[in-house]
Amino acid sequence: MTHKIKTPFFVFNPKSYLYGEELVALAKRADELAVKHPECSILVTVPFADIAAVKNATENIIVTAQHMDGIYPGRGIGHVLPESIYHAGARAVFLNHAERPMTVSALAQSIKRAKELGIQTIVCADSISESKAVAVMGAEVILCEPTELIGTGKTSDSSYIEQTNQAIKEIDDTILVMQAAGISKAEDVYRTIELGADGTGCTSGITNADSPAEMLTDMVEALVKAYKERG
C-alpha cells in the first residue's frame, strides 16, 4: 500500500548521520507519531542499505530513498535502480538535493521512472526559476531550499517562502511545496507552516539534539499545531 503524501507533512532526513539500529529506533518513533497524527504524513529518508530494515520495522511512515537513477534493469553497476528501491520498500524519493545534484535530463528521466513505478518524487530546487522548471516536470513535492542555508540554522526569509509557494501553485496547484532551509527547532517548523508551506523537514536539528526522539516529536507536534491554527 502506498501512502499518498498529505498536507501537512514532515520529512526526517538523517542523510548519513544515522544507520542501522539507531536509525530504525527513530523511524519507529516517527511511525508512532504518524499513528498519533493521521492527518499528516511523516516521511523518513533512508540510506539505500537500510531501506528494507526501516520498511520492515514500520507501517505508517513513508519510507523515502535519498536518490534514484533513471535507469532500467540491465547494465549500470553502482547506480541506484528504481525497481530495487521500490522492492526494498521505498515509496518516495529525493531527487536533485544539493549534496546529490542532477542534470536536467537526468532529473527528467528519474521523475519519469518514478511515475512508472508509483514512487512519489520530492525534487529540490534552489531558486524560484528552478522551482518553476521542476513544477513543469511534474514533481509531487518541490523542496525550495537556498543551497547556502542548508545546515546553517538560518531559515529562508518570509518573502522567499511566499514567492516560491505562489510561483509553484500558479503552474500546478496540486504540487506540494516543502520549505526546510535551516530548520533547527520546533519554532522554525511552526513559522514555516504558518507562512504557507505544505510541509517541512529537518536533519541535523534532530540528529544533533540531546534527545533526537524528543526533538522529532516536538517538531511534528509544531507542524500539526501550526497547520490547524493556519486554518
- pLDDT tens digits for 122-135? 999 988 888 999 99
pLDDT given at position 154: 61
pLDDT given at position 20: 97
Of residues 3, 97, 148, 187, which has the active-site annotation? 97
Of residues 79, 145, 148, 170, which has the active-site annotation? 145
97 is catalytic: yes
pLDDT at 150 over 60: no
Average pLDDT over residues 187-200: 94
| Least confidently predicted of 86-90, 109-113, 141-145, 224-228 | 141-145
Q: What's the pLDDT band for 200 if we cut at 50, 70, 90?
A: very high
DSSP 42: E
Average pLDDT over residues 22-45: 98
Residue 156 grid cell: 529562508
pLDDT given at position 148: 56
The angle formed by the CA atoms of residues 206, 218 and 198, to the nearest 5 degrees, is 85
Nearest to 65 by CA among 84, 42, 41: 84
Is domain 9-230 given the CATH code 3.20.20.70 in the classification?
yes
**Sequence ranges of the domains in the chain:** 9-230
The H or E element spanning position 220 is helix 212-230
